[in-house]
Structure 1
Amino acid sequence: MASLKDLKVRINSVKSTQKITKAMKMVAAAKLRRATERAEAGRPYATRLSDVVSSLASRITVGPQSPKLIAGTGKDETHLIIVATADKGLAGAFSTNIVKAARAKAESLEAHGKSVYFYVVGRKSKAILNRVFPGKIIGEYDTMAVKNPGYEHAQAVADDIIDRYESGRFDVAHLAYAEFKSTLSQVPQVDQIIPVVPAALEETKGASAAVEYEPGEEEILEALLPKNVAIQIFRAMLENQAGFYGSQMTAMDNATRNAGDMINRLTIKYNRQRQAAITTELVEIISGAEAL
């Protein structure tokens, strides 16, 4: 049984931990507001650009002169999954859930005889992927020093990915990230970003007669396709940042509550042992007095 001194030390230790988790919750809450604003502001543009590119892709006839980002490599054998996660922990299962979604996608592709490789954005996925898929990480982008992801960071990742694609390192690229829904909900997504998936015919039928493109669909696509890859990666970074702070705030709130519960239990235990010790001392004093 722990002594009164040991219990007192544990209570003080848990109180110190509670102060830290409470402070981290407040910091995450403050950063969450700004991150949420950025994610929500960037979402409509990224979605609309993706829709425009998909719509354009559905209207052209793919040929030798078509941009490779829409025409593809002519094969579907090697897939690259860009896994965008956080760099830090203390955010519950946020990064783990993204890795799980990427792992499920990879295992599904491998079950169909495809080769799968990974490109890591953020450190938290690297250790898990190296353990489950040894030797499959072919590239990474370190965001540890990036406090607020900017378009230039997404552009750097996109340029590296497109260079690898143009050199024939892979045939299809997927982007794994967590879409921010609310503080309590971040939904892992795995979207194909290379080559572009053409929109379904029924989605473009109504607009096809009312829109004319100048100089032409293929010329526009050649300019928009690299930008679309960067924008989708930028969106993933913004969504991840908001989701990370939301998940961290929730995790720190739970940790603060758990610390409070533990303090209460330890305090009750400490008071009971202290009362028992006092009672024992009183009994000994009374017994000694009676003996005299």
Structure 2
Amino acid sequence: MFRQAAIIAGRNTKPTQVRQYATLREIETRLKSIKNIEKITKTMMIVASTRLSKAERTKATTEQFAKQEKNFYANAEADKSPLAKEGKNLIIAITSDKGLCGSIHSSMAKKIRNVLKENANADVIAVGDKIKQQILRTHESNVKLAFNGVGKSDPNFLEASLISEEVLKFIEQSAETYNKISVYFNDPVTSISFEATNDPVYNEQTINEAPGLCKYEINEDLNVNRDLFEYALNSKILSAMGKGYAAEISARRNAMDNASKNAGDMINKYSILYNRTRQAVITNELVDIITGASSLD
């Protein structure tokens, strides 16, 4: 009985899987694919390097649009307005639709998630598919508006104005009051590093209550603060897109450079493995020939 059970158990037992070494053809195929990847990453690095100087000029140009608004907010002390901390917060997160640029998009998503942890009821407007996809995974209810088709080329005033126009329509149609709008973007600190930061934009009601507004002579018959709010929002979005574009191009160049170096290391590794395997195959064939010749004698 015990013998019969042992026989049945032996029949049901599957043979153990033994790890086989890679054949010469498999190593050669893998080596060719890595070389092709290295060519692609080197080409993308060269393209990013040539576009970086233009991106830096775009960043410097677009930054001038938001510089005057920043000075006005500082002189008017807009952050000390009693309405600045009231109402619902609106976050505009700006990235792009493209990937293969390291952790620049994930770091922005991490920054927005940390902000939403502190202020869970804040509304988010996503500019770019990358930030939209990552925020929708964890905070789908917070995303109220999204834009795509951005980041394909250097940003311009027309593109920023179209986005700001849709944002203003959303604000006007919304039942919420957004006294302060935070525009988040990737700021290139150096050529190899970036930081997710934000610039505030205040609506006309908040500016009207700013304690330092009395420093300026404003005609009450004209709706200056409303025009200022619209222009400031457009300028902040344009400046944020310009800085984010420069940071993304720099990050893509660094990412493709690192990928090319890693591919080169793997090519050296697989070249050594290929040569050793090839030598082993030749040695085995020589052994078989010598053994066969010896058996004939």
> Is the alpha carbon distance of 1:28 and 1:60 closer, same or farther for their aligned partners in structure 2, counting shifts above 3 Å?
closer
> Is the alpha carbon distance of 1:268 and 1:134 closer, same or farther for their aligned partners in structure 2, counting shifts above 3 Å?
same
> Is the alpha carbon distance of 1:141 and 1:55 closer, same or farther for their aligned partners in structure 2, counting shifts above 3 Å?
same
Residue 280 of structure 1, CA deviation? 1.7
Separation in 1 of the partners of 2:80 and 2:278? 82
Alignment-derived partner of residue 147 in structure 2: 141
Residue 290 of structure 2 is aligned with which of 264, 286, 290? 286
| TM-score, normalising length: structure 1 | 0.82
Moved over 4 A (4+): 57-62, 214-220
Number of aligned residue pairs:
272
Separation in 2 of the partners of 1:256 and 1:234? 33
Alignment-derived partner of residue 43 in structure 2: 23
> Is the alpha carbon distance of 1:181 and 1:59 closer, same or farther for their aligned partners in structure 2, counting shifts above 3 Å?
closer
Alignment-derived partner of residue 66 in structure 1: none
Alignment-derived partner of residue 16 in structure 2: none
Deviations 1:80-136 (A, max 9, x none): 2111112111011111111111111111112xxxx1221111100122111101232
Residue 181 of structure 1 is aligned with which of 183, 189, 194? 189
Residue 218 of structure 1, CA deviation? 8.1
> Is the alpha carbon distance of 1:43 and 1:135 closer, same or farther for their aligned partners in structure 2, counting shifts above 3 Å?
same
Residue 60 of structure 2 is aligned with which of 8, 19, 40? 40
| Structure 1: unaligned runs, 5 residues or longer | 63-70
Q: Once superposed, what is the RMSD of the aligned Cα atoms?
A: 3.1
Alignment of 1:134-213 (within 5 A): 134-144=140-150, 146-167=152-173, 168-171=175-178, 172-195=180-203, 213=217
Please state which structure has a larger fraction of its residues in helix. Answer: 2
| TM-score, normalising length: structure 2 | 0.81
Deviations 1:248-290 (A, max 9, x none): 1111111111111111111111100111111122222233333
> Is the alpha carbon distance of 1:20 and 1:161 closer, same or farther for their aligned partners in structure 2, counting shifts above 3 Å?
same
Is the Cα contact below 8 Å between 2:73 and 2:79 reproduced in 1? no
Residue 60 of structure 1, CA deviation? 11
SS for the counterpart of 2:141 is: coil
> Is the alpha carbon distance of 1:218 and 1:52 closer, same or farther for their aligned partners in structure 2, counting shifts above 3 Å?
farther
SS for the counterpart of 2:107 is: helix
Which has the higher Rg, Structure 1 or Structure 2? 2
Deviations 1:180-215 (A, max 9, x none): 2233111101333234887x98xx7xxx9xx76364
Is the Cα contact below 8 Å between 2:201 and 2:229 reproduced in 1? no
Alignment-derived partner of residue 108 in structure 1: 118
Identity of aligned residues (%): 26
Is the Cα contact below 8 Å between 1:184 and 1:250 reproduced in 2? yes
